[in-house]
Chain A
């Protein structure tokens, strides 16, 4: 189980002639629940795009495990405006997650349909499978997109600011769901988020980014550092 899913060694990312993110080293092993935090403009999104392979590193190396190389990485992107009125059933959306492992074959196999069905079941959206994606609520859309990501790989899930636009109770449901996937289904989770108050109760590792890595380690230690205290805004002392 000590197989490393994703490993960064001294990685830099940037656009044209300046680096947005410098010298990041980290790794994700099965069972991890890692959260990348940082202020606006700290390079969180850039780092995430880099990990997904949407952006080429300007220095350093990123290594993926064999499994992930084959299937690609499943991730939950932020909603794009084009998706708001997109005519597609939940089933079509979820099934599109299987694309990476399919290679050159033009159509989905029975096996891939089964994987899609199993993931819809896992996320409790089986009865929505013929519904139109644009008619779903925010929370249901999230579930459909997570099911799609799990079709690509059930090893590692990358989430980009996942709770943006969700109401408080949906947000709590969402965290419960991710924790369930992490603990019971053994999906490693990497989340980029602003929501630090909730994160420290959920994740087990934190990476605090401000162009360079300011902190990388377990949550308990993070709370004790200066960054942790500043970022948490004294939330500890209330309790």
Chain B
């Protein structure tokens, strides 16, 4: 408790905590749908696109979020389109786009500012990255995601479970896929500055996979993902403060541990 009180006395840690909890909640909710639709790698791909966009924005001195959010949203919609057409397999498309934008980002950076601490913090995350503006955006975003999720919960389920059936019963499937893609894109741009481009996708994938070990209903998995994600983020941040380790990595390791625990529970149950 004392440690937590001590942490809360630093304004930048409070910001990291509030922003991070909001982002982990959004990422985990969207993650359930993405993981089940076999789009797990989309988070990874988008974070690299975001890295590329941020490097370019920095090189030209533009506002980072104003540049990267639209770029990543476009990339997300494009990725879904490519998958829908089926001409290039989606995993290959994601790998191509993610490596491509990472490469562009690195070239732009080395030609202009060089590999500064800012760039390294985008790669591996920095707890100092959360500005007041970011926290505000994260809170607004998480309210939007939560609201959408509650209102469209049944449609999200139908679209995730069986796209063609949903389409045949008159659900506008492409619209819901686009909404999910856009929200994922915004979540990733906001989250990657704290978690790092290399690690942000874990916030999308881990909680859903963890919850699927134990829960048998879609609702159970969704609720559990949200809870697991927020709890893991909190523990990860505390550990990062206590042992002075990078926050992003620490959160991922706690998520990994949670996966291990749920996996054991599943094993014991099946006996």
Provide the bound-state CA to CA distance between A92 and B166, in Å: 14
Chain B positions 140 through 170: 1 when the CB is less than 8 Å from some CB of chain A, otherwise 0? 0000000000111111011001101111111
Q: Is the CB of A106 within 8 A of B169?
A: no
Partner of A72, one of B38, B157, B170: B170
Give A43-94 interface residues, CB cut-off 8 Å to B: 49, 52-54, 71-75, 77, 80-83, 85-89, 92-93
> A22: CB under 8 A from chain B?
no
Question: B154: which A residues are within 8 A, CB to CB?
Answer: 95-96, 99, 102, 106-108
Partner of A97, one of B151, B153, B167, B169: B169
Provide the bound-state CA to CA distance between A77 and B166, in Å: 11
Q: Is the CB of B162 within 8 A of A77?
A: yes
Smallest beta-carbon distance B76→chain A, Å = 19
Partner of B169, one of A74, A92, A130: A74
Indicate whether A73 sits within 8 Å of B169 (C-beta atoms), given known contacts A80-B162, A96-B154: yes
Partner of A106, one of B151, B167, B168, B211: B151
Provide the bound-state CA to CA distance between A79 and B187, in Å: 32
Smallest beta-carbon distance A104→chain B, Å = 10
Question: A80: which B residues are within 8 A, CB to CB?
Answer: 162
> B21: CB under 8 A from chain A?
no
Provide the bound-state CA to CA distance between A26 and B161, in Å: 31
Residue among B150, B164, B169, B221 with most chain A CB within 10 A: B169
Q: Is the CB of A88 within 8 A of B217?
A: yes
Provide the bound-state CA to CA distance between A73 and B170, in Å: 8
Partner of A83, one of B161, B167, B211: B161
Number of interface residues of B (CB under 8 A): 30
Q: Is the CB of A100 within 8 A of B169?
A: yes
> A143: CB under 8 A from chain B?
no
Q: Is the CB of A82 within 8 A of B36?
A: yes
Partner of B161, one of A53, A86, A108, A152: A86
Provide the bound-state CA to CA distance between A100 and B154, in Å: 11
Q: Is the CB of B164 within 8 A of A52?
A: yes
Question: B84: which A residues are within 8 A, CB to CB?
Answer: none
Q: Is the CB of B161 within 8 A of A96?
A: yes
> B262: CB under 8 A from chain A?
no
> A155: CB under 8 A from chain B?
no
The residue in chain B whose Cβ has the minimal distance to the Cβ of A108 is: B154
Q: Is the CB of B161 within 8 A of A93?
A: yes
Question: B164: which A residues are within 8 A, CB to CB?
Answer: 49, 52, 54, 77
Smallest beta-carbon distance A120→chain B, Å = 15
Q: Is the CB of B157 within 8 A of A92?
A: yes
Q: Is the CB of B219 within 8 A of A77?
A: no
Question: A74: which B residues are within 8 A, CB to CB?
Answer: 168-169
Provide the bound-state CA to CA distance between A74 and B170, in Å: 10
> B212: CB under 8 A from chain A?
yes
> A213: CB under 8 A from chain B?
no
Give B170-221 interface residues, CB cut-off 8 Å to A: 170-171, 211-212, 215-221
The residue in chain A whose Cβ has the minimal distance to the Cβ of B214 is: A87
Residue among A77, A89, A96 with most chain B CB within 10 A: A96
Q: Is the CB of B212 within 8 A of A87?
A: yes
Smallest beta-carbon distance B206→chain A, Å = 15
Smallest beta-carbon distance A150→chain B, Å = 12
Question: A88: which B residues are within 8 A, CB to CB?
Answer: 157, 161, 217-218
> B89: CB under 8 A from chain A?
no
Q: Is the CB of A99 within 8 A of B217?
A: no
Question: B221: which A residues are within 8 A, CB to CB?
Answer: 87
Indicate whether A100 sits within 8 Å of B217 (C-beta atoms), given known contacts A77-B162, A86-B161, A88-B161: no
Question: B211: which A residues are within 8 A, CB to CB?
Answer: 87
Q: Is the CB of B216 within 8 A of A132?
A: yes
Q: Is the CB of A89 within 8 A of B157?
A: no
> A148: CB under 8 A from chain B?
yes
Q: Is the CB of B216 within 8 A of A89?
A: yes
Q: Is the CB of A54 within 8 A of B155?
A: no
The residue in chain B whose Cβ has the minimal distance to the Cβ of A151 is: B169
Give B62-90 interface residues, CB cut-off 8 Å to A: none
Smallest beta-carbon distance B34→chain A, Å = 11
Closest 8 pairs (CB-CB, A-B) = A72-B169, A100-B169, A132-B216, A72-B170, A52-B168, A88-B218, A89-B217, A96-B158
B residues lining the A interface (CB < 8 Å):
36-38, 150-155, 157-158, 161-162, 164-171, 211-212, 215-221
- 12 A-B contacts, Cβ less than 8 Å apart? A87-B36, A87-B211, A87-B216, A87-B220, A88-B161, A89-B216, A96-B166, A99-B158, A100-B170, A100-B171, A106-B150, A131-B216
